A and B are shown apart, each in its own frame.
Chain A
Amino acid sequence: MSMRKINYIISTLILALCYFFWNDAAGIRPPAHIYPQTVIAVTAFLAFALLIQSIFFPKALIQGKPFEGTKYSRVITSIIATIVYYFVLKAIGFYVSSFFFIIILTWLLGDRRVGLKIFAKLGILGIVVMGLVYAAFKIFLKVPTPPGILF
């Protein structure tokens, strides 16, 4: 997709966002509405300016296709793994879920070889990292971590 088309989508999305925010701001008691409505108006103006620039002055845009060459499978894998990690840590706790997350995502982003040696290496990495995190956050800094049914 070209930058021009992407800019059409971005400006439309931001204008829609401004519409929702403006409607919500209408309910704010005066004079508290002035600041947010000013910010919304400036945002909408700039989104409109981007749209105009993309339509009439395409030479001013960075040329090329921004998403060309994106390794979607790796990026989406990382995003999905992080979302799953969030739900798992909510249920079973930070330390156990993080240990498995480190092993699984590192393997998925690596060369994905299967073998006892590989998983032993990743297991050691998980233990070392989580050990350091436990020592730093739990023992020294006493920072609470997300709780769960396990640890």
Chain B
Amino acid sequence: MLADFFIGFQNALHPMNILIMSLALAGGIAIGTLPGLSATMGVALLVPLTFGMDPATGLLMLGAMYTGAIYGGANSAILINTPGTPSAVCTTFDGYPLTKQGKADEALFTALVSSVIGGIIGTIFLLVATQPLALVSLKFGSPEYFWMAIFGLTIISSLSEGNMIKGLLGGVLGLLLATIGIDPVTGHSRFIFDYRPLIGGITLIPAMIGFFSFAQVLTLVDENQKYLAEYSPNKGVIGKVFGHMLKFSKKNLLRSSLIGTFVGILPGAGGNVASFVAYNEAKRWSKNPETFGKGEIEGVVASESSNNATVSSSLIPLLSLGIPGSPVAAVLLGGLLIHGLQPGAKLFIQTGDIAYTFIIGLIVANLLMLFIGFLGMRLFAQVLNVPSHYIATIVIVLSVIGSYAIRNNLFDIVIMIVCGIVGFITLKVGFEPGPLVLGLILGTLAEEGFSLSLLMAKASGSMFGTFVARPISAFLIFMCIMAIVSPIYVRVKKSRKNKLENA
């Protein structure tokens, strides 16, 4: 094993592999930045290119593309309030307000460093704890997934700044939208009201592009300002960000990366769920929770470190058990099989050198991303120097192609436009898009978990035994209660303290 590890180390640092990883990273960052183009698409596009390559090099290229694409989503989230990937939704909450405050480069560099650290922590777990973590993930059944989704939904209480009822209403409306289409239990269509195109449901990506991107364009047009935000490169931003992170963000970084690592190994959950959970926890543990959503750098740290930690951890079930837990892992499985590699325990026994090259390569890719991302960041930030009416038009064109690209379906463009108009109006009347999109993201996970658990309960004859009396479910229920009760407790304690101070 040690010999394989050292061979992997040597291979990962080979100049040709570094060059290929750098190119794949740059491509991944560009794909992640463009809304609608997913990491899965980027990795799938590269698979044919790996045919003629050495298996280790091919896998390194795919891993670097995946890493770059997940990070790339932060650029558009911070600069134009449009998450490039669903896992960057939480990055918009504080990233865009920071841009509005003239701190775009600070937010971009924080996102980059957090992504790198999250990615490295996730990869370390992939390296040292693949087997035990994969076994824990196997203990997750439908009831646990249901409670996991409910735990994710508890974040709505912290996303509802102005009016709690509106925040909750936005969340359940998202859940309701997610029920449109085919019923996962019976396979019958529902809530389509005889309109056939709705049979495919409200697809997440076009809806997300609509709620964030098109709605943001309409807001820009309404504001009628010459530029998106004031921007001039700040000197010393690198030192400032590193200084802040070393001093204040260590706990947040570690906690969010661990959340990302753990959520990432669960099949079906991914960077989007991880970033919401990590953001919620960062806010809950913060001394200044009221600054979240208004340009709090710790919000960017939580979101970006957690979503990039899922990159490596989502590969844990694939590499150790041969189970692809995410769409990208499924594409990577194809890549492994093409090269004659058998995922699972055999991968480490028969082709340990390749397995370790890939894992150590992911650490190298994250370090390379620090340089490539930094160069790209300077380029992307120039967007803020383009007049806003130019940006508005170009973003609409990219939103159209991004919505269409997912399923090659013109109806997805209609979904994007409708969600955009609704998003613009709801923003005006105090409904934030965050809870709505969170409901859409978690809706499928919650429903599948609930419906299958219900069938399990019927078969076992015990509702309590299925939903509550399972160790992981009980833990998740406890976490849900804590997530709801602790902000109320903190609020009451704070108001009492204020009253005492004023008295």
CB pair B163 A145 closer than 8 Å: no
CB pair A143 B405 closer than 8 Å: yes
Q: A28-B183, A36-B179, A129-B394 are in contact. Are A110 and B389 (CB under 8 A)?
A: yes
Q: A74 CA to B424 CA in the complex, in Å?
A: 13
Shortest CB-to-CB span from A69 to chain B, Å, is 9
Shortest CB-to-CB span from A77 to chain B, Å, is 8
Interface segment out of the listed B2-10, B99-107, B188-196, B371-379:
B188-196
CB pair A62 B163 closer than 8 Å: yes
Shortest CB-to-CB span from B400 to chain A, Å, is 7
CB pair A109 B392 closer than 8 Å: yes
For B146, the closest partner residue in chain A by CB is A35
Contact residue among B173, B214, B451 (Cβ-Cβ distance under 8 Å from A43):
B173
CB pair B451 A31 closer than 8 Å: yes
Decide if B408 is an interface residue (CB 8 Å cutoff): yes
Decide if A102 is an interface residue (CB 8 Å cutoff): yes
Residues of chain B within 8 A of A74, CB atoms compared: 221-222, 224
Total interface residues on B, CB under 8 Å, equals 60
Decide if B41 is an interface residue (CB 8 Å cutoff): yes
CB pair B45 A141 closer than 8 Å: yes
Total interface residues on A, CB under 8 Å, equals 63
Residues of chain A within 8 A of B454, CB atoms compared: 31, 34
Shortest CB-to-CB span from B55 to chain A, Å, is 24
Q: A135 CA to B165 CA in the complex, in Å?
A: 47
CB pair B222 A70 closer than 8 Å: yes
CB pair A83 B45 closer than 8 Å: no
CB pair B169 A66 closer than 8 Å: no
Residues of chain B within 8 A of A83, CB atoms compared: 417
Chain B stretch 411-439: residues in CB contact (< 8 A) with chain A: 413-414, 417, 421, 424, 428-430
Q: A92 CA to B394 CA in the complex, in Å?
A: 19
For A130, the closest partner residue in chain B by CB is B397
Q: A62 CA to B190 CA in the complex, in Å?
A: 36
Consensus secondary structure, chain B interface = helix
Residues of chain B within 8 A of A96, CB atoms compared: none
Decide if B482 is an interface residue (CB 8 Å cutoff): no
Decide if B485 is an interface residue (CB 8 Å cutoff): no
Decide if B368 is an interface residue (CB 8 Å cutoff): no
CB pair A53 B165 closer than 8 Å: yes
CB pair A43 B169 closer than 8 Å: yes
CB pair B222 A85 closer than 8 Å: no
Residues of chain A within 8 A of B279, CB atoms compared: none
CB pair B190 A86 closer than 8 Å: no
Q: A86 CA to B224 CA in the complex, in Å?
A: 24
Shortest CB-to-CB span from A74 to chain B, Å, is 5
Residues of chain B within 8 A of A27, CB atoms compared: 190
Q: A142 CA to B31 CA in the complex, in Å?
A: 13
CB pair B186 A32 closer than 8 Å: yes
Q: 28 A-B residue contacts at CB 8 Å?
A: A3-B430, A6-B429, A7-B429, A25-B191, A27-B190, A31-B185, A31-B455, A35-B450, A35-B451, A39-B176, A43-B172, A43-B176, A46-B172, A50-B166, A62-B430, A71-B222, A78-B217, A82-B214, A86-B400, A94-B400, A101-B396, A101-B397, A102-B394, A105-B393, A109-B393, A125-B390, A141-B37, A145-B401
**Chain A residues within 8 Å of B, Cβ to Cβ:** 3, 6-7, 10, 14, 20-21, 24-25, 27-29, 31-32, 34-36, 39-40, 42-43, 46-47, 49-50, 53, 60-62, 66-67, 70-71, 74-75, 77-79, 82-83, 85-86, 89-90, 94, 98, 101-102, 105-106, 109-110, 125, 129, 133, 136-137, 141-146
11 additional A-B pairs beyond A43-B169, A75-B221, beta carbons within 8 Å, are A28-B190, A31-B451, A31-B458, A35-B450, A35-B451, A46-B168, A62-B163, A78-B217, A86-B400, A105-B392, A145-B404
